[in-house]
Structure 1
Amino acid sequence: MTDHEASQTARRVVVAEDESLIRLDIVEILRDNGFDVVGEAGDGETAVALAKELRPDLVVMDVKMPQLDGISAAEQLSKDSIAPVVLLTAFSQKELVERATEAGALAYVVKPFTQNDLLPAIEIALARHAQLVALEAEVADLTERFETRKLVDRAKGLLTQKMGLSEPEAFRWIQKASMDRRLTMHEVAEAVVKQLSAKK
């Protein structure tokens, strides 16, 4: 088995479509192309419940479904960061596409569709999802670094003020404490701020 095939098998999909014949078609296309269909649903509510329980890599679902339509279901799944969604629709009106995008759907396919329509849409959705995840991680990392810098600056200020150290000495003190105690600079700075702020 090649790496490509292995990565394909790892992709777990939930399929939601109220028309059972179309659902069977989708499941067959996906299985023939190395996807693992882990759940099937005939309405939006079941699709959301299955996705929350199974945490698939992707949800392929129809827009028009009983109980909860695909757009509302996609909204729930993207809001809770459960899985990327590819929506299937019989219409390609601009308004519907905009609603689907706002709901967090990462791709859509217009019915009737073939394997050649569905598979590229899935690849696009998975690639967009991977980009979003990477971007979120980068933003979280930048935020954390900014918070650490602010905290270290505050700790340096307190060390110069209360302990009579120069700014470079204060920074070296924090660095050394971080290495000696096997703590992050963030943790050391936090402890310094806590202790020295309490001392009047």
Structure 2
Amino acid sequence: MDKTLIISGSEQAATLLTNLMKSYCSSQITVASSGNEARRLINRTEFDVAIISTPLPDEFGSDLAAAISERSSTGVLLICKADIADELSEKLEVCGVCVLAKPLNKTLFYHTLKMLQATRARMMNVMKEYSKLQTKIEEARLVNRAKCILIQYLKLTEPQAHRYIEKQAMDQRLSKTEVAQNILKTYEQ
């Protein structure tokens, strides 16, 4: 973990969590003392993990946990009193937030961090794959639009338009996408 955000209204809890994190890994640790401060930091910086020790001075912290989890790839750990931990866990598990009860068990804390780290790594891989697929879909749409233009203006059939784009790509040593863009520039003016 490269960057960790610790959000705690209590200086004592922030110090404890900072020390636990330092003993666990060599992460760059940023501490926020309120939900509003944490939101500003999250908007400016991508964190690997956010640890929220409830309650915060300006809010409880569960809404902040859900917001961070839903709007970023940050792994979120919420620490709360034992009597509400199960209820919060049930409510926040759909957002991907892990909940631990106070007082903290050091071993459980470390295992939860490992789970957050593994989950985040998996999510980052899925996001990369999603981005690749989005690019391929966009390229296919572009090529299909170019085929439609060729069919409309040059009266080619779909297989002929497809072959034309492939041949131009080979002859000009361009990608099919670049050929499609050139066709669209030529005919869509």
TM-score (norm 2): 0.79
**CA–CA separation in structure 1 for the residues paired with 2:166 and 2:114:** 45
Paired-residue identity, %: 23
Aligned-partner SS, 1:66:
coil
**CA–CA separation in structure 2 for the residues paired with 1:196 and 1:168:** 19
Larger displacement relative to structure 2 (63-72 or 89-98) = 89-98
Match of 2:120 in 1: 129
Shift of residue 61 of structure 1? 0.9
1:17-32 map, 5 Å: 17-32=8-23
1:95 equivalent to 2:87? Answer yes
The one-letter amino acid of 1:99's match is K
Match of 1:189 in 2: 180
Shift of residue 14 of structure 1? 1.4
1:43 paired residue among 7, 29, 34? 34
**CA–CA separation in structure 2 for the residues paired with 1:151 and 1:195:** 14
TM-score (norm 1): 0.76
Question: Are the structure 2 counterparts of residues 66 and 146 from structure 1 closer, same or farther at C-alpha, using a change threshold of 3 Å?
Answer: same
2:25 paired residue among 20, 27, 34? 34
Shift of residue 82 of structure 1? 6.1
Aligned-partner SS, 1:64:
coil
1:142 equivalent to 2:142? Answer no
Q: Retained in 1: the 8 A contact 2:66–2:97?
A: no
Shift of residue 105 of structure 1? 4.4
The one-letter amino acid of 2:92's match is A
1:114 equivalent to 2:105? Answer yes
Shift of residue 32 of structure 1? 1.2
Aligned-partner SS, 2:113:
helix
Aligned-partner SS, 1:38:
strand
**CA–CA separation in structure 1 for the residues paired with 2:98 and 2:174:** 44
Aligned-partner SS, 2:47:
coil
Q: Retained in 2: the 8 A contact 1:15–1:37?
A: no
**CA–CA separation in structure 2 for the residues paired with 1:85 and 1:179:** 49
**5+ long unaligned stretches in structure 1:** 1-9
Match of 1:57 in 2: 48
**CA–CA separation in structure 2 for the residues paired with 1:25 and 1:121:** 16
1:171 equivalent to 2:162? Answer yes
